[in-house]
Structure 1
Amino acid sequence: MERTISRGDWQPPAPPSLRGKALRSFRDYALNDVQSRTLTPRTRELYERQLERLILPHFGETEVEKITTTNVRAWYAQLCPEQPTQRAHAYALLRSILSHAVDDERITANPCHIRSATSRRRMKNVEPAKPDDLARLQSELQPRFALPILIAGWCGLRSGEVRALRVKDVDVVGGWIRVRQGVTRISGQVLVGPPKTPASVRDVAVPPHLLPSIKTWIEHLPKGEAERYLFPGREPTAPMSEKALRHAFAKAKELIDRPDMTFHDLRHTAATLAAQNGATTAELMRRLGHTTASMAMRYQHSSAQRDRQIAEALSSLLKSEEK
């Protein structure tokens, strides 16, 4: 002990609250860690589900101090090989919990050292909808089916953000949609609260061609009810249900012959169209409500049409030099 002290390696014992029996196992420590975080209800439910299904079956009864890099690598090697997104999220959660254990001086170093484990390869090659597809939806579908899809496809709103819009959130004169809340479903209960992240609270400019349809839709809603949902459910005081939105989207996919599309692919559509028309990464982050550039870049896609335009632009450079 004297030699340890003289070398400067001695550390005082961790507080009893962390070394006590109640938090000795990884299960107890991890659940306590997640409960102590400031999270949205949806994120908290997601973390708890990832713990119970993917992490605790392997590490639950192990003492935090006895989790090694070898243990982590063995767990990761067999973890959801066909589900890269779940795999990346579960690893990120484990790493963050053990990082807190380092901060709490339960362990001296984080055993999670797998390179690129939190990145994920896109398993599906997303093909964004084309402007002509969106135009067809606007002209041929009833507004109650078309407008939620068009707002997602042109403005990049998430499903829960579209469903949570109120009449007062839409400025048809200035051409803005104010994203201030979102709809989530947790344990069978529908909750309306803040959007996914602080960056998701944003104002999104609406393409002018879409404003007349939105204005007409609002004019058919009861007057003087600014707090009313823009797309109400069966009960006027409730937002459109997820089932109703899926029904509307099924009609849209059939009309444009895109059975492969998901509703979330409409965010890819909005990002791609904006990027092709000159939006910078910072502008895409703001428009989509992202916190990092990498997240915004993930939603950008090239297209054969855009590649042809680039090729033609390159040829024009040569022609201008010849002149």
Structure 2
Amino acid sequence: MINVNNIIKRYGYVKALNDISFQVERGEILGFLGPNGAGKSTTMKILTGIISQDSGTVSVADHDISQNPLEVQKRIGYLPESNPLYYDMRVTDFLKFAAQMRRISSKDMTSVINNIVDSCNIGSVMYKNISELSKGFKQRVGLAQALLGSPEILILDEPTSGLDPKQIMEIRDLIKQLGKEKTVILSTHILQEVEATCTRVIIINEGKIVTSGSIEDLRRNLKGGEAVYASIRGDENAVIARLQENHNISAIDVINRFNDGITSYRITPVTGKDIREDVFHIIAKNGLALTELRRDALKLEEIFIKLTAKENS
């Protein structure tokens, strides 16, 4: 669907993007994740044809963006970080204006807008000035304009920035619904956003792609990733001493101590291997009581910190 090959983009002497390549398949919800200034918005602007790359190629549905920009832009709906709304217009007038910009015919305009209004749940604010709307409704209106023209691809740059928790959940649910019918690229620095919404993630840092894959793939491939959470009744020092004898275990951290003599531990393996069986045998062999044993998978925040720290070192 989208092919990005060896893109370089400079601003003066600074390389905002340094030879990045990636693909996006039809029907994916791709999280484009990185800290502020990593190159996310620059990438989104290149994909939508707002700015051009210095070198490399971008194609969308087999159309090269440098050679056929209008063919590419017809297939993309874009919600930039700065939502492109006219605050002195009513929502209905703004959507009609945006539909005209998308060259939707007068004959089809009403039905097209009505369908999008239903999808984005903005019927209650159609005759209000945009300036009167909450931030959440403004984002919904921005999404509505991005959907005009039935684009195959949605590119959303920081779509929940500045929203309250309830509004964030509503926008995430809407994005997931849209992802059932469209390819979605979601650019964000909010890790929970990606974990809650995306089928795959690309992590970018300082203009370079650090890694890509599903969150489960990243957890599996990151060494030391599959830690184990265990609750054990018994002398804490004895438990730690027995666990330390196993060469597959690299670290043991006490998480909690309870009044009934149970202590909970986070046990980290030397590699990403599943060590639950090792832990079970150690506890059983030494006559200790195991009350809970489960994988304590890396959170996306930990994956992100490990990978970007590795890239910066």
TM-score bracket, normalised by the shorter chain, equals under 0.3
Normalised to the residue count of structure 2, the TM-score between the two structures is 0.23
The structure where helix makes up a greater share of residues is 1
Structure with the higher strand share, 1 or 2:
2
